[in-house]
Chain A
Amino acid sequence: MEKQHHIQLLPGDVGETVFLPGDVSRAKVIADHFDSAELVASNRQYNTYTGMYKGVKVSVTSTGIGGAAAAIAIEELVKVGAKNLIRIGTGGMFQTWLPVPGILVITGAVSGDGLTREYFPQGYPAVADLDIVESMLASARELGIEVHEGYEWSHDSFYAGSVFSNLDILEIEKPWIDAGVLIASQEASTVLTLATARKVRGGVILASAGCHQHPEITATEEQMVKAISDATKISLETALKLHRLDHGE
């Protein structure tokens, strides 16, 4: 098999669990949480590190921003053997009762993005894998990290749905806020629908620096570094649990 066009990887280059940050530089930040890690490929925005965590081979591939780029990474990662795809990302929260910073385990997504619309019929649900959701919640409990579970609004235009927008975002987002959706981000719908269709597990965990209703309240950079680190720790323990489910001890 030739190397995959974009991620430049071959079968064997990644573990069964691959973490998917959007931010290119965050691939290294996540890999630094492994017991060992080396850069196995770097092409465009796709940086992949593979290493070991408590005896299990794990990987991280940065996807860049948005559903289009994430879908390319997912299709190619599945071809080289990925079985569990876990996005570790950031977003802007919708519910004022959530803590700032907040860590959210995503159970499903509103498919407001173009990628999902092109791949799947309207109304096709973006649902997170049961094993991943349960493993994330259990790992958070074991690590003593507060998390909240719920839906993400996945959309394409950051400057139409973030606190940096010139539009009336609370008006745009009102249907989702009223329905109890927790957070805005861009890739969950793509990760969850595509993983389901390719018969692999898909999951998402997000850290958030703030809430759209209160742009004046933001987490410090130091707090966000810790929140992303906590989300990574939860994800690594999740990888171990998935390994045990599939292969025993």
Chain B
Amino acid sequence: MNQEPHRQHHIDMLPGDIAPTVLVPGDPGRVALFAEQMDEAHKVAQKREYLTYTGKKDGVAVSCTSSGIGPSPTAIGTEELIRIGAKNIIRMGTCGAIQPFMKAGDIIIVTAAVRGERATEEFISIDYPAIASHYIVRAGIEACKRLKLTYHVGMVRTHDAFYLESPWAFGDYKARLQKWVDLGVLAVENEAATMFVVASMQGVRAGAILLSSDPIFGGSENDPDLDLHKQNLVRVSIETAKILHEMGLD
């Protein structure tokens, strides 16, 4: 096999194009929010749903690569980011909070994810756990404290079919979600477990910082302050990258 570094098929990047810590939103549009909040940032690559900016904030190098929606492109993006040297891969996304005490705008620091998706089953048995690096969990908690944001720490459910378990889903989606509410799962989303399994199998740290954008049992399903809350999500994720740097983990 040719061991020369080559441009990765999908993310279209080479080693050196990214910082050790990469923030991964699902939405390519959110990469612009990242770039705005950095002291400086430049576009490194754009192909399919994978858009990457790399830059600096308070002297710390951080990158942001969008993954697109769902486990399939997340598995590809995570794998290729690892192959070009990513050390900390952190999903920076939105989710549907399902616990009644959770409000729109709350931040979720994810400790682990239920593997309700199938992408990772091609890599390893469903018995293998999807767990976030505890170093990233701690850095995320510390970042929320510094920025004085309301946050929750716990487990999410990752699954494939958005239109089965969201406020816009057909039929009685609340009944379908009740099982996960009872198990103490904080939110449902489509990418975290995939990222955790692909990264942890290769000894790379992964984590997820999520915004409760449409709490399903907690009142408003349309957040009037969504733009501000998305900015908070990006802010706390960049702060997490800085804390990982302070911990000597990048």
Chain A residues positioned under 8 Å from B128 (CB to CB) = 110, 175-176, 179, 181
Contact (Cβ within 8 A) B115 A123: yes
Contact (Cβ within 8 A) A175 B125: yes
Docked pose: A128 CA to B111 CA in angstroms: 9
CB within 8 A of B112: which of A127, A134, A181, A197? Answer: A127
Contact (Cβ within 8 A) B125 A125: no
Contact (Cβ within 8 A) A180 B129: no
Contact (Cβ within 8 A) A125 B127: no
Whether A122 sits at the interface, judged by CB under 8 Å, is: yes
Chain A residues positioned under 8 Å from B115 (CB to CB) = 122-123, 125
Whether B193 sits at the interface, judged by CB under 8 Å, is: yes
Chain A residues positioned under 8 Å from B228 (CB to CB) = none
Docked pose: A66 CA to B183 CA in angstroms: 23
Contact (Cβ within 8 A) B138 A134: yes
Also in contact, A197 and B184, with CB within 8 A (given A109-B129, A121-B114): yes
A180-221, CB under 8 A of B: which get 1 and which 0?
Answer: 110000000000000011010000000000000000000000
Contact (Cβ within 8 A) A124 B134: no
Q: Which chain A residues numbered 107 to 158 have a C-beta less than 8 Å away from chain B? A: 107-112, 120-128, 130, 133-134, 151
Whether B155 sits at the interface, judged by CB under 8 Å, is: yes
Contact (Cβ within 8 A) A124 B114: yes
Chain A residues positioned under 8 Å from B126 (CB to CB) = 122-123
Whether B107 sits at the interface, judged by CB under 8 Å, is: no
Whether B169 sits at the interface, judged by CB under 8 Å, is: no
* CB nearest neighbor in A for B111: A127
Chain A residues positioned under 8 Å from B124 (CB to CB) = 175, 179
Whether B201 sits at the interface, judged by CB under 8 Å, is: yes
Whether B130 sits at the interface, judged by CB under 8 Å, is: yes
* CB nearest neighbor in B for A112: B127
Contact (Cβ within 8 A) A123 B114: yes
Chain A residues positioned under 8 Å from B202 (CB to CB) = 180
CB within 8 A of B113: which of A125, A175, A180? Answer: A125
Docked pose: A127 CA to B115 CA in angstroms: 13
Contact (Cβ within 8 A) B155 A127: yes
Contact (Cβ within 8 A) A196 B184: yes
Chain B residues positioned under 8 Å from A110 (CB to CB) = 125, 127-129
Whether B148 sits at the interface, judged by CB under 8 Å, is: no
Also in contact, A111 and B153, with CB within 8 A (given A134-B134, A175-B124, A197-B183): no
Contact (Cβ within 8 A) A130 B153: yes
Q: Which chain A residues numbered 36 to 61 have a C-beta less than 8 Å away from chain B? A: none
Contact (Cβ within 8 A) A124 B183: yes
Whether B167 sits at the interface, judged by CB under 8 Å, is: no
Q: Which chain B residues numbered 22 to 77 have a C-beta less than 8 Å away from chain A? A: none
Central interface residue in B112, B130, B184, by most chain A CB within 10 Å = B112
Q: How far is the CB of A54 from chain B (nearest CB, A)?
A: 25
* CB nearest neighbor in A for B109: A130
Docked pose: A122 CA to B179 CA in angstroms: 13
Contact (Cβ within 8 A) A108 B184: no
6 additional contacts (CB under 8 A) given A123-B114, A123-B116, A180-B201: A107-B134, A130-B138, A133-B134, A134-B138, A179-B128, A197-B184
- Offer 13 A-B interface pairs, CB within 8 angstroms, sorted by A: A110-B127, A121-B183, A122-B115, A122-B126, A123-B126, A124-B114, A124-B183, A125-B113, A130-B137, A130-B138, A133-B134, A179-B201, A196-B155
Instruction: Spell out A's residues near B (CB within 8 Å).
Output: 107-112, 120-128, 130, 133-134, 151, 175-176, 178-181, 196-197, 199
10 interchain residue pairs of minimum CB distance: A123-B115, A125-B112, A127-B112, A125-B129, A108-B131, A179-B201, A108-B129, A111-B127, A127-B131, A112-B127
